[in-house]
Amino acid sequence: MHRSRLHSEALAILALAGCAGSGEGLDENGRPDTGGPPPLTADFDSIQQNVFTPICTNCHAGAAAPLGLRLEAGVSYAQLVGVPSVEAPEVLRVAPGDPDASYLVHKIEGRAGERMPLGGPPLPQETIDVIRQWIIDGAQPGTTMHAAESPATLVAVSLPQPLTPAGVANRIIVAADAELDTSLIHAGNVTLTRSGGDGSFADGNEVPIDRIAIRITTLAPTVMAIALPGDGLVADRFQLRFAGSGPAPIAGRNAIVIDGDSDGSPGGDFVVEFDVGGTP
């Protein structure tokens, strides 16, 4: 009887072992693996899902993100690739093809100021190696990072005609096709420049116009009235620019940077040029 019981217990153990098999489908504690982010690979979608979203957005999110660097899904790529660092403007945050010239790598490796992520453990070297490889491969955008929502586009500009020089209050109306994050619309990323008398904005003699007032007239979709200072409107060509790139671009309420250049993807500045009193 005793030998029969032992035999039955041995069969049960063998049966359980057979059910366990190779452990496939179980986590490191032997429990069923319920999923989670796929393994980190050297592509932008994977880095966003495994690094930026769960780790970096603890600080780098929303209008108050340090140094204007927002790393939420949908906005992070336009904030990183080809954008000068605020702390070191001579260095790009991500220089495609060159991780050693990328400020993002300097920060996560601890080679520039305080190491990121701030206040947390450093990223594992294997994670850093994956980010470096993504940059080496050209820092390509992800295939799904904008699939859920589209960027807002600035779609209408109304210029009072004719625009006249000094003493006349003029304004420009700019409308978006969606609601914008109005906390990001300010004189730092909405700029007005005078050409300097030659009608060109590439010669280095441009004159910034400091005193412009921005008023939100409609919130959703967002419509903006840009008041131009009458005493600054000498006869010349002017350029009004809404930042869709750089350290603090304008974004929609969905945190996706505007499609300023209307190419179907987030990023790019929205630019309007107009003449006052005739082009010199």
**154-276 belongs to CATH 2.10.109:** no
pTM for this model (two decimals) = 0.50
Backbone φ, ψ for residue 258 (5° rounding):
-60, 150
Give the model's pLDDT for residue 10: 41
Given pLDDT bands bounded at 50, 70 and 90, which one contains residue 65? confident
Q: How confident is the model at residue 27 (pLDDT cuts 50, 70, 90)?
A: very low
The yes-or-no verdict on residue 232 having pLDDT over 80 is no
- Give the angle subtended at the CA of 207 by the CAs of 203 and 211, to the nearest 5°: 155
Q: How far apart are CA 262 and CA 151, in angstroms?
A: 10
Sequence spans of domains, the chain: 44-136, 154-276
pLDDT band at residue 191 using 50, 70 and 90 as cut-offs: very high
Check residue 1 and give its pLDDT. Answer: 44
Q: Which residue has the higher pLDDT, 89 or 158?
A: 89
For the stretch 156-188, pLDDT in tens is 666 655 566 654 447 788 888 788 999 999 888
Q: Is the pLDDT of residue 2 over 80?
A: no
